[in-house]
Amino acid sequence: MKKVLLTLVAAAALHTASAQNSAVTNAILYQRQGTLDKAKTEIDKAVTNEKTSDKAKTWFTRGEIYEGMVNSPIYKKILGTEDGGKIAFESYNKALSLDGKDGEYGKQATAKLDGLYGMALNAGVENYNSKDYAKALDSYRMAQQIKPQDTTAYLYAAYAAEANDNFAGAKEMYGKLQGIGYQSPQMYGRMLQIAKQQKDDAAALKVVQDALKAYPSNKGFMLEELNMDLSAGRGKQALEKIDRAIAADPTNSNLYAVKGSLLDADKKPVEALAAYRKAVEVDPKNFDANFNIGIYNYNKAADYYTRASKMSLAEYQKSGGKKLETDGKKYFQDSLPYFEKALEAQPDDRATMSALQKVYLRLDRKADSQRMMSKLDGSK
């Protein structure tokens, strides 16, 4: 009696296991027939049953079915809100973890994952073009998991994050790119733009410094660093870097003008004048350089006239007061063409008009002086 009972129990157990295995078998049959909706129903049962949920074959089959549905215009709709690509990816990964990379299904799962990379990337592009940037980012993240050393998915993910104003996500992606050794001027440019949008000056400076380590002769990054130093009032640091920027971009007239301003601030007027003259040589219409050369000569002239005016009559006659005024007038004359060029470049600049009005008066050009005065009154 006991023997019969044991036989019956064993038979029942065999029947139960067989019934569960049949769900996987049925799923495979339906898959081969092309009825993926029925295959999905069967395989979804199998992955939740304790008898088949730990089998590599079950998970590999599930991956194939869901991948097939994603690639089918008809069955893709049946998935609804389910992310078929993600489910396929997780299924193949599960099969690989259960069977190992050298197992029958482990080998097949590895090959399938390679193919799934392209599918994930394409899904990301499709979602990006549809402006579903969050979903695009999810697809790119999946592609990264499949091929963690491939840079394309990280770049595309960064673009998707930026398009969605997800700056944290974009910075994460650019950070990962740097982590796998990727570099490009475009990447640093995008990182710099994000830092600027977030008004994070420290982050922006760090990006530029990193960029210059990778691309030390990139004039764009040199100028960015120079502008940051100037904006932050770091004149001495800027002066140390200006010649390097000029060497990279020798036809940039503004760089010479900036160098002149920095030298002026460093109380080196003669060297500043040489820089301004170089700026005008490169671009005769450079407003700042023309104006500052005019100011240099104007100040020299004013100094001569001031010294003469402080003399007593006896000193004036004995110590060459007349010569001081003559020398001063010459400097006023030298300033004139530069102020006139500056006004041509910026016709509404009041500082230039004011300087010209005074110079014309000193040179006894009363009509021109009055013309500048009228222009000043009209520009108020």
pLDDT at 352: 96
Q: How many Å apart are CA 308 and CA 321, to the nearest integer?
A: 5
Q: Which range (59-63, 110-114, 147-151, 318-322) has the least confidence?
A: 318-322
pLDDT level of residue 11 (50, 70, 90 thresholds) = very low
Question: Average pLDDT for residues 181-198, to the nearest whole number?
Answer: 95
pLDDT level of residue 219 (50, 70, 90 thresholds) = confident
Look up residue 307 and give its two tokens: 């010294």
Condensed to tens digits (0 to 9), the pLDDT of residues 55-80 reads: 999 999 998 999 899 889 889 888 88
Q: How many Å apart are CA 273 and CA 366, to the nearest integer?
A: 29
pLDDT level of residue 366 (50, 70, 90 thresholds) = very high
Given a contact cutoff of 8 angstroms between Cβ atoms, the answer to whether 324 and 305 are in contact is: yes
| 61, 210, 275, 348 from 255: Cα distances, Å | 66, 23, 9, 24
- Percent of the chain surpassing pLDDT 70: 94
pLDDT at 287: 96
Q: Which residues contact 310 (CB under 8 A, 6 or more apart)?
A: none
Q: For residue 298, give the amino acid letter.
A: Y
DSSP 147: S
Condensed to tens digits (0 to 9), the pLDDT of residues 273-288 reads: 999 999 999 999 999 9
Nearest to 91 by CA among 106, 80, 71: 106
The CA-based dihedral angle spanning residues 334, 335, 336, 340, taken in that order and rounded to the nearest 10 degrees: 130
The CA-based dihedral angle spanning residues 302, 307, 308, 313, taken in that order and rounded to the nearest 10 degrees: 160
pLDDT at 7: 42
Cα separation of the two ends of the chain: 118
Secondary structure in 3-state letters for 64-99: HHHHHHHCCCCHHHHCCCCCHHHHHHHHHHHHHHHH
pLDDT at 21: 67
pLDDT at 10: 42
Look up residue 262 and give its two tokens: 């920095």
Q: For residue 63, give the amino acid letter.
A: G
**pLDDT surpassing 60 at residue 87:** yes
The helix/strand/coil state of 170 is helix
Question: Average pLDDT for residues 81-102, to the nearest whole number?
Answer: 89
Q: How many Å apart are CA 27 and CA 31, to the nearest integer?
A: 6
Q: Which domains does the chain have, with CATH numbers?
A: 1-163 (1.25.40.10), 286-380 (1.25.40)
pLDDT at 128: 95
Q: Which range (88-92, 217-221, 314-318, 342-346) has the least confidence?
A: 314-318
Question: Average pLDDT for residues 2-29, to the nearest whole number?
Answer: 57
pLDDT at 3: 44
